Amino acid sequence: MTTEVDFYELLECERTADDATIKASYRKLAMKYHPDRNAGCKDSEGRFKAISEAYDCLKDPQKRAAYDRFGHAAFRNGGPGGGHGGAQDFGGFSDIFENIFGEFMGGERGGGGRSGPRRGADLRYDMEISLEDAFNGRSTEVTVDVSAVCETCEGSGAKRGTSAKACTTCAGHGKVRAQQGFFVVERTCPSCHGAGRVIADPCGTCHGEGRVERTKTLTVNVPPGVDEGTRIRLTGEGEAGLRGAPAGDLYIFLHVARHPLFEREGTTLLARAPISFTTAALGGEITIPGPDGEQHHIKIPAGTQHGRELRQRGAGMPVLQGRGRGDLVVRIEVETPTKLSARQRELLEELRATETGAETPQSAGFFQKMKGAWG
């Protein structure tokens, strides 16, 4: 199970830190670990993902309050606060400057425009599937509680028959400017919170937000070959945006349940097969059923030793969004009999009486070395 690191520890801040302190720490760490500055370094990429997820939560007052109360559980299965759940898309290195300094240099990317209503939050849903589902793929339904567009006002937030008006504080721009010495500082309008418009007569159903809480049932198509942690993105199925803004996305994170027979390493399936010592000595054949129900016949060469691995090409997991399959690797475990009949014991005694040491060269060589070591 993946260890979840505390968001405050990731950002190297105290839990009592104010917004400015958290933002300053994020700037420093994001600059340090951005993938464009650490090309090919998986550790840096993972650290950047983690601190971006942490900042995305702690910069939002509602998400931070939910995290302070519930911890990481606040964002599981579409829980309170939504959150990106680790899903992060990386732009170019210039993007980080725009994200960090955008509030002081014109707001949105593209420079100086009105910010408009805020896009809905992305949501995370953790779903467990069987190895057979991962092999064959499946279509299933998930139920999530999410903010959806208010049908009464059609997402506008205004009472039916009325409409939002341009904010008088910012003249509809969503931002206000203030002169400070030689500098002009631009910040989000405190009256309309960046929307550029205000609602004088809000909708009675959504109270002016343009969205309400709903339970949605969605169909998820799981393709063959998925692995632990595979992420499926459902575009526009996250939280509805504020007052008609675009909806966020829903990310389905897949977890493959432990299988009683197989372990998995990428597209390779691993299985342990106990066999009798007579089969190991004389050779034979065993049958392994695959996740798709296909029977795989594995030949055991005579003289097979404990721990030997036998590989069946093309009998493993499908390649995700590709062609072909991995391999099936069977690890042989030679089982020594513990209950023998009188006749079986007699036959083994006869076998032992005929042994010369040539039948088991490793054993003979070991004891010969022991004799040499002790003179």
- Statement to judge: residues 97 and 45 lie in one domain: yes
- For the cut 60, the answer to whether the pLDDT of residue 313 exceeds it is yes
- For the cut 60, the answer to whether the pLDDT of residue 185 exceeds it is yes
167 is in an annotated binding site: yes
In whole angstroms, give the CA distance from residue 95 to residue 259: 43
**Which residues have CB under 8 Å from 240's CB, separation 6+?**
120, 146, 147, 148, 149, 155, 210, 211, 247
The CATH number given to whatever domain includes residue 40 is: 1.10.287.110
Give the rounded percent of residues in the chain with a pLDDT score beyond 70: 83
- Statement to judge: residues 151 and 177 lie in one domain: yes
The CATH number given to whatever domain includes residue 199 is: 2.10.230.10
Q: Which residue has the higher pLDDT, 326 or 113?
A: 326
Count: domains in the chain:
3
- For the cut 60, the answer to whether the pLDDT of residue 78 exceeds it is no
Tell me the pLDDT tens digit for each residue of 36-73.
777 778 888 888 888 888 898 898 888 888 888 777 77
- Statement to judge: residues 245 and 230 lie in one domain: yes
Please give the pLDDT value at position 131.
95
Per-residue pLDDT, averaged over 224-237, amounts to 92
Please give the pLDDT value at position 3.
57
In whole angstroms, give the CA distance from residue 293 to residue 43: 39
206 is in an annotated binding site: yes
CA 260 to chain centre: 24
Average pLDDT over the chain reads 82
Question: How crowded is residue 259: how many other Cβ atoms within 10 Å of its Cβ?
Answer: 15
- Statement to judge: residues 267 and 369 lie in one domain: yes
Question: How crowded is residue 78: how many other Cβ atoms within 10 Å of its Cβ?
Answer: 23
153 is in an annotated binding site: yes
- For the cut 50, the answer to whether the pLDDT of residue 29 exceeds it is yes
Residues spanned by the domain of 59: 1-101
- Statement to judge: residues 325 and 338 lie in one domain: yes
Q: Which residue has the higher pLDDT, 308 or 71?
A: 308
In whole angstroms, give the CA distance from residue 221 to residue 142: 11
41 is in an annotated binding site: no
- Statement to judge: residues 28 and 41 lie in one domain: yes
Please give the pLDDT value at position 24.
87
Q: Could you identify the residue written with the tokens 């680790």?
A: 86
- For the cut 90, the answer to whether the pLDDT of residue 305 exceeds it is yes
Tell me the pLDDT tens digit for each residue of 94-123.
444 444 444 444 444 433 444 556 788 899
Q: Which residue has the higher pLDDT, 211 or 365?
A: 211
- Statement to judge: residues 185 and 239 lie in one domain: yes
Per-residue pLDDT, averaged over 139-160, amounts to 88
- Statement to judge: residues 245 and 127 lie in one domain: yes
- Statement to judge: residues 63 and 132 lie in one domain: no
57 is in an annotated binding site: no
13 is in an annotated binding site: no
- Statement to judge: residues 204 and 139 lie in one domain: yes
- For the cut 90, the answer to whether the pLDDT of residue 161 exceeds it is no
**Which residues have CB under 8 Å from 196's CB, separation 6+?**
114, 115, 116, 166, 167, 170, 172, 173, 174, 189
- Statement to judge: residues 248 and 360 lie in one domain: no
Please give the pLDDT value at position 178.
78
Is residue 366 a part of any domain in this protein?
Answer: yes
Per-residue pLDDT, averaged over 64-83, amounts to 65
- Statement to judge: residues 222 and 234 lie in one domain: yes
